[in-house]
Amino acid sequence: MEPILPPADATGPAAPADFEVALVSLNQWQLAWRRFRRHKLAIFGSVLFLTMVAIAIFGPFILPYDPLAEPTPILHCVGTNILANTGCPPFNDGHILGTAGGTQEDLLTLVVNGARISLAIGIGAATFATVLGAIVGGVSGYFGGWVDTILMRIVDVLLSLPLLFVVIVFAKVFGYGDWKVILVVFAILGWPSIARLVRSLFLTLRTEVFVDAARAVGVSDLRIIFRHILPNAMSPIIVVTTLSIAGFIVEEAFISYIGFGVNSLYNPTWGNILSNAQDDIIVGNWWWPLFPGLAIVLTVLGINFMGDGLRDALDPRSRE
């Protein structure tokens, strides 16, 4: 630990004349941040992820093309013999990443706009799944007994239903292509595993002394769960939530490929851009599938690095 000198305008007892090591106490979050900072890979990952988020939020404002309108079609790419119908290569006619086939839209605009919904689904579903899972897992782990048995059976059932199958059936029932429906389905199918994790955490934490102390003082059960135990369980929950964002982004690409994802007409997502692009790989159109795929890979990579860093930083027992 680096030596820290007390502030010059300390109002306490007079500062010692010599350079003595004076300790400033850091809480666990600040400690974690310190450990995180030393993890080069984690910093890199976080920068990558936050860049993607920034692109998603601000990107659409600075791009010149309107994603809701289709450009006037041309037959051949400007100055070449390539059929515009399968997409024009990068740097042709001002399109930095080239154009997509079919609609001949600017690929950069598509990918940047796609970031919005892909990340919204990923982060939104992860958040909701965590909140739901934490509540159920906390209640289940704390109370035990019948409550635990019933809740865990429900968790077992939801974990047994194959995700892709259920997504497809939900899409049939609630309508196609709406990204909000997909977000909700992911959250509904994602909370069970988080509930399991939280429950096992609670099973160990509820035997801690501070819980007995709180009960002795007369704190209500619910308060104990949410204000006493849960904060102590936050670390693994944060890690799992972060990593599940990546999982949901890839899953969104999956269901777009089999045709049950977000409707691509007005809502580009990385997943549906990628699946639209698959057919034309045959004719050598490498840029159309490459860039959304790259966006997915970089985001997932960034999240994974960040998640690993968080895991090491937040776990007091880690000894990498």
Q: Given the rule CB under 8 A, which residues bind another protein?
A: 69-70, 72-75, 83-86, 101-104, 153-154, 156-157, 159-166, 168-169, 172-173, 175-177, 246, 250, 253-254, 257-259, 263-266, 274-276, 278-284, 289, 293, 296-297, 300-301, 304-305, 319
d(CA 288, CA 227): 49
Could you tell me the smallest distance in angstroms from the CB atom of residue 184 to another protein? Answer: 15
Could you tell me the smallest distance in angstroms from the CB atom of residue 202 to another protein? Answer: 19
Give the nearer residue to another protein in terms of CB position, either 5 or 150: 150
Could you tell me the smallest distance in angstroms from the CB atom of residue 282 to another protein? Answer: 5
Could you tell me the smallest distance in angstroms from the CB atom of residue 214 to another protein? Answer: 28
Give the nearer residue to another protein in terms of CB position, either 32 or 197: 197
Give the nearer residue to another protein in terms of CB position, either 287 or 305: 305
Give the nearer residue to another protein in terms of CB position, either 24 or 281: 281
Could you tell me the smallest distance in angstroms from the CB atom of residue 254 to another protein? Answer: 6
Could you tell me the smallest distance in angstroms from the CB atom of residue 154 to another protein? Answer: 7
Give the nearer residue to another protein in terms of CB position, either 102 or 228: 102
Give the nearer residue to another protein in terms of CB position, either 83 or 203: 83
